[in-house]
Amino acid sequence: MRARILLLIGLLSACSASDKPDNLIPEDKMITLLEEVHIAENQVNNLHMGSADSALVVYQVLEKEIFKKYSIDTAIYRASFKYYVARPEQFKAMYEKVVKDLEAKNERYLKKQRTSKPDTVKKPI
């Protein structure tokens, strides 16, 4: 019984607000990072590389560039990601924003592609 209580206390303390990382990435910046990470993943997927190892190397280069752009490192990103994942409602709301923003970016890209296509249909003489 005593061991169960100690285990329960340990689990509850693991989920408390005190596990907030010292350098937690703010929610709005984390949303932007998640968007860029997903764009990088998509870029790698579109390369259709034969080897998963090669794709991973390319992704890691892109990820490193993203982290450099935002002046963070892998440890800060992972700690922040873990923090937000432990708060499902907050994380769900963040991802809804990520999806909405990515859909808007995709729509702008498609619109730009449609308007910038040269006329490929040959006109009769």
Please tell me the pTM assigned to this model: 0.74
Alpha helices in the chain (DSSP H): 2-14, 27-46, 52-69, 74-85, 88-116
Band of pLDDT at residue 13, cut at 50, 70 and 90: very low
CB burial of residue 48 (10 Å; 0-12, 13-18, 19+): exposed
User: What pLDDT is recorded for position 2?
Assistant: 47
Band of pLDDT at residue 59, cut at 50, 70 and 90: very high
CA distances from 77 to 21, 97, 108 (A): 10, 18, 28
Mean pLDDT computed over every residue of the chain: 84
- C-alpha angle with apex 89: 5 to 30, nearest 5 degrees? 110
Band of pLDDT at residue 95, cut at 50, 70 and 90: very high
Of the candidate ranges 20-24, 77-81, 98-102, 117-121, the one whose mean pLDDT is the lowest: 117-121
Band of pLDDT at residue 51, cut at 50, 70 and 90: confident
In eight-state DSSP terms, residue 124 is P
Query: CA-to-CA distance for 19 and 11, rounded, in angstroms?
Result: 12
